[in-house]
Chain A
Amino acid sequence: MTDHISEKGEGEHRGLRRLIRDKDGGGWLGYRGLFAFIFFTSTLGMFVYWITYTDITLGTGMFYLTLIPFMVALPLTALLPGKSGITPKTLGILAVLAIVPYSLYDWARVPMNLIFGIPFWDHWFDWGNSILGTTGTGATATGTIFTYEQLTTGLVAHIMRGWGLAMAYYLLVRKVTLLSAFVFSWAMTIVYWVVFPVWILTDALPPWIWFFVAWESHMVFAMGLWVAPKIFQRLYRKPDKMSGLGDGKDSKETSHYKRSRKTTLFGILSSQGFGFMFGSAWFGYVVTSQPPSLYPVFGYGKPPPVLIEGFGPYHWAVVGAVIGVIFLYLTLRSRKASSLAKQKQK
């Protein structure tokens, strides 16, 4: 496994600068950023629904914040400059790639339902209900939310977000790397961990297994982001077009710099350490900031497998921080060693 990053072998700083601002219009402040934002809008519609405590329906949120941006984006694709690295054809390729990560994400949750009873599709009924506009919360004359119609609508909304986020990732990176996929998925995990317990009543006091499932499924999403181009390279007739996720130009530019497997591994482990730190501290805050729940919401309320008396979430956060720092140090050291070896070769 070797990840390709940066470009022209002239250091990451220049690569990062071009990633953000590119005279050809392909940077985050250009078409890449714009289209990534557009594909993020299905999540944006959901945010509005969440943070208004569902006062604004999901249908309304997605009408203004998803449908309208997509209507604008459609003719905008005609203006995409080829130099930017994104063409309508690229978008088509990415659209196919982006199906893999969220499918794997949901696959990762399947055993969690069978083993721990996590009902990961519970909100799909709410979302479907909010989009379809069925009034009433129970089986009243106006209908129950627990129907296949509402499940299907909620499922479609779920897929749109997962697919849209994967599209946003592929658009934001010039080259898919395992590390960037994990960083992106960590951002998704943290947003998930924060939004659900704060704004959604049924998730207000989730047990540890809820946090665990959110983490493991997003990490599988990261693997999906990384593996999807590799799968499709086998199927696509012109593999070189796939390797750069652009017009092929990028792949040449990025092939000079290679991140070692060790650096990638240490980088990912470092992100896991810091993520565990945040997750533990946040879990501690969430469960201690409200009256304890007497109810086994989500799963069977089993305790975590490793319990140490007197060792609370904040202590685990310290452990996470230590792991994060150690692996960050190892990442930086490994990267430096790799650069020195390359200089010697020259």
Chain B
Amino acid sequence: MSNARTKPRYLMSAVIIILLIMLYTGPYAFVYLRTATWTFPRIDERDFNAFEKLETSVSQVANLTGIRNVEGAQEANYLVNVGVFDRKFLDWIGFPLVLEVNDFKFNATGVSQGNVVFECSHIVNAFPRPTGFEPWYIYQPLVDKYDDHTIDVSCRGDASLIDPATQPIPITLNYSISTTLVGDRNYEERSWNNSQSMEIRDVRSL
């Protein structure tokens, strides 16, 4: 076979081989490129939006649930309702997720006329959320259920500082909340410090 005939044949083979390499690698190069320019930025954007829009709430009422003797002193027990709202967010493919709320710490003091009426300190390792392995008909209601989630925090204080006969008892609650919010690719330590007016209600007879 002459050189003149073999040259175009080898050239054609080389072109085919180059095209094949592009054929093989093209889609995966596309995926990595889109991951860097679309997937990850989209995840980050949605994570941070979810962190941003998350809200906490502390009830305006502390329920007096009991008074008991502890080592000769009267201890009053209260329940304060604390919540985390707007956990639901869409991930990068538009699928609804519930933001992870981990290491949730709530510390508060209820103050009345300069006296600390009660103190609260509560830790939750992780707020509940769907596992992601449920069938859709179970998953979707769980997402809505855990979108806003509240817990009752137990607080204690000296019962002699309040007069249950006087209802309601106005106090000031100074509180701090700290938690770790976990998204798809990012996490953020968030904390809230606030002071609000609230009142104590005696619910022992209810």
B94 to chain A, nearest CB (A): 4
When distances are taken between beta carbons in the complex, the residues of chain A under 8 Å from B20 are: 100, 231
Q: What are the residues of chain B within 8 A of A135 when measuring CB–CB?
A: none
Please, which residues of chain A bring their CB within 8 A of the CB of B96?
A: 294-295
Stretch at the interface among B32-40, B109-117, B155-163, B193-201: B32-40
Chain B residues in 8 Å Cβ range of A140: 100, 102, 182, 187
Main secondary structure of the interface of B (DSSP, over half): helix
Does B136 contact A106, Cβ atoms closer than 8 Å? Answer: no
CB A117 to nearest CB in B, in angstroms, measures 8
B124: chain A residues at CB < 8 Å are none
State whether B95 touches A146 (Cβ < 8 A).
no
B123 at the interface (CB under 8 A from A): no
- Specify which of A146, A155, A235, A291 is in contact with B13 (CB 8 Å cutoff): A235
Q: Which residues of B lie under 8 Å from residue A110 when comparing CB positions?
A: 26-27, 30
Contact: B23 with A202, CB < 8 Å? no
Interchain nearest-CB distance for A321 vs B (Å):
28
Per the bound structure, the CA–CA distance linking A119 and B136 in Å amounts to 20
Interface pair B92/A201, CB less than 8 Å apart? no
Q: CA A124 – CA B137 in complex, angstroms?
A: 25
In the complex, are the beta carbons of A122 and B93 less than 8 A apart? yes
Looking at the complex, which one of B26, B90, B133 makes contact with A54 (CB distance below 8 Å)? B133
A209 within 8 A of B: no
Known A137-B132, A139-B186, A151-B35; judge A295-B30 contact (CB<8 A): no
Interface string of B5-48 (1 = CB under 8 A from A): 00000001100110010011011101110110001100100010
- Chain B CB within 10 A, most for which of A234, A295, A299: A295
Does A234 contact B12, Cβ atoms closer than 8 Å? yes
**Count of interface residues, chain A, beta-carbon cutoff 8 Å:** 42
Interface residue count for B (Cβ, 8 Å)?
A: 41
Q: A113-B34, A139-B183 are in contact. Are A107 and B23 (CB under 8 A)?
A: yes
* Nearest CB in chain B to that of A299: its residue: B94
CA gap between A296 and B185 in the complex, in Å: 21
Residues in A87-111 with C-beta less than 8 Å from chain B: 99-100, 103-104, 106-107, 109-110
Given contacts A110-B30, A155-B28, A290-B137, contact A121 B95 (CB under 8 A): no
Q: Which of A121-158 contact B (CB under 8 A)?
A: 121-122, 124, 137-140, 144-146, 148, 151, 155
A110–B186 Cα gap in the complex (Å)? 27
B28 near A106 with CB under 8 A, answer: yes
Q: Is the CB of B136 within 8 A of A290?
A: yes
- In the A-B complex, the 6 residue pairs with the closest CB atoms: A106-B27, A204-B136, A138-B182, A296-B94, A139-B187, A146-B185
By a beta-carbon cutoff of 8 Å, the part of chain A in contact with chain B is: 53-54, 99-100, 103-104, 106-107, 109-110, 113, 119, 121-122, 124, 137-140, 144-146, 148, 151, 155, 201-202, 204-205, 231, 234-235, 290-291, 293-299, 301
**A-B contacts besides A54-B133, A201-B135, 18 pairs, CB < 8 Å:** A53-B133, A103-B26, A104-B23, A110-B27, A119-B93, A137-B132, A138-B100, A139-B182, A140-B182, A146-B185, A148-B35, A151-B32, A201-B132, A201-B133, A201-B136, A290-B135, A296-B94, A297-B94
